[in-house]
Amino acid sequence: MQEITQLLRAAQAGDRAAADQVVGRLYADLQRLARSRLRRSGDLTLLDTQALVHEAWLRLEGVPDAEFPDRRYFLAYVARAMRSVVIDLVRARQADRRGGGAQALTLNTAVAELAPQDEDHVLRVHEALEELAQLEPRLAQVVEMRYFGGLLEQEIAQALNVTERTVQRDWQKARLFLAMSLKT
């Protein structure tokens, strides 16, 4: 764990070899995040696990001031980058046919058991999450990490430097807010 932290610091300082080593050592975790994200979006993205990991990595390389003090922060940021990749691909596919046929949303933490969602569903969640981020940024981070990234409460608590109980309360508040936002 300490070695990953040192490699992340070296990568931030511009060491390309260190950045490649971080990805190599955390590749299994990155694939787990990508599998979780793709399971939720079904065939909407036309990406496989490896392609999503690589797309997210390309986005991370394009952010010069990103700071990753340790593995948890890095994985949380990657989860956000993967979400961004999926949302951008869905938006591109929806450019000609936006609107209509919207369905109600139920946020569920059983990521592996969820059926694939349609494009409208993914975009509606994204838009509601953007609104939540304006009001309560930490709640939005919890949703991103749990709903989009498939992280566990313990991992989220560590990444946000809060208790697991705080994550549980934040998750409940965020679900309520998003459910109300998505009903309208």
**Alpha-carbon separation of residue 133 from 58, 160, 175, 177 (angstroms):** 24, 15, 13, 11
Which pLDDT belongs to residue 165? 94
Residue 171 CB neighbours (<10 A) = 20
pLDDT in tens for each of the 184 residues of the chain? 678 888 888 877 777 888 888 888 888 888 888 887 777 666 655 677 888 888 888 887 767 677 777 778 888 888 888 888 888 877 777 765 555 444 545 555 443 344 445 677 777 878 888 888 999 999 988 988 887 777 888 888 988 899 999 999 999 999 888 888 877 6
**Residue whose token pair is 């938006």:** 91
CA 36 to chain centre: 9
Which pLDDT belongs to residue 164? 92
CB of 129 within 8 A of CB of 121?
A: no
